[in-house]
Amino acid sequence: MSKRDEIITGAMKTFEEHGFRGIGVDAVLLPSGASTRTLYKHFGSRDGLVLAVVGQRHHAFMERLREDPESGVPGLFVALAVWLAEFGARGCMLLRAHGEYAGDSAEIAEAVRVQKTEFLGEISRRVELELGRPHEALSLQIWLLFEGATAAASVAGLDVVQVAGEAAAALLADARHK
């Protein structure tokens, strides 16, 4: 693993546990053993590291979804349950980064917006696969269920993901009959 990847991996775990702004640079770099100078060499700034971390997290989740592209909408919620069991239910890291940086870093806010738009596109693709036609409103509803389940799991436990998946299935069934 390259030093850059080591820094991202260590920072991701640290940000996941402590938030993005609630921890100093030295603590962020501690898991990788990197120096501040190495951080700036690879990322240009702390914000550059945050961009790399949210980019890597998004890429990893989208790759996980692409492992089973035909699993439809139910596959989204199965993947979410597995992901949260593996990484912990602390809410969406991307939305937390957006919340912490939206007023201060247009670049981070825009990166998260683009990533969430890409994910909504994946939901739309799956909805169209299941219905045989696009359905923008339904895709948005399922996206809201997914994001809500991600957030709620941090408080109510992983069972909410299954409930959200069942709600999405009910919405899909209703849309099939219209």
Tens digits of pLDDT across the chain (178 residues): 899 999 999 999 999 999 998 899 999 999 999 999 999 999 999 999 999 999 999 999 999 998 887 789 999 999 999 999 998 999 999 999 999 998 899 999 999 999 999 999 999 999 999 999 999 999 999 999 999 999 999 999 999 999 999 999 999 999 999 7
Q: Please say whether the beta carbons of 79 and 64 come within 8 A.
A: yes
Q: What is the pLDDT of residue 151?
A: 97
Q: Please say whether the beta carbons of 10 and 2 come within 8 A.
A: no
Q: What is the pLDDT of residue 168?
A: 98
Q: Tokens 């997914």 label which residue?
A: 146
Q: Please say whether the beta carbons of 115 and 94 come within 8 A.
A: yes
Q: What is the pLDDT of residue 127?
A: 97
Long-range contacts of 125-131 (CB under 8 A, 24+ apart): 126/71, 126/72, 126/73, 126/75, 126/76, 127/73, 127/172, 129/70, 129/72, 130/72, 130/73, 130/172, 130/176, 131/172, 131/175, 131/176
In CATH, 53-176 is 1.10.357.10: yes
Q: What is the pLDDT of residue 170?
A: 97
Q: What is the pLDDT of residue 1?
A: 82
Q: What is the pLDDT of residue 69?
A: 74
Q: What is the pLDDT of residue 152?
A: 97
Q: What is the pLDDT of residue 102?
A: 87
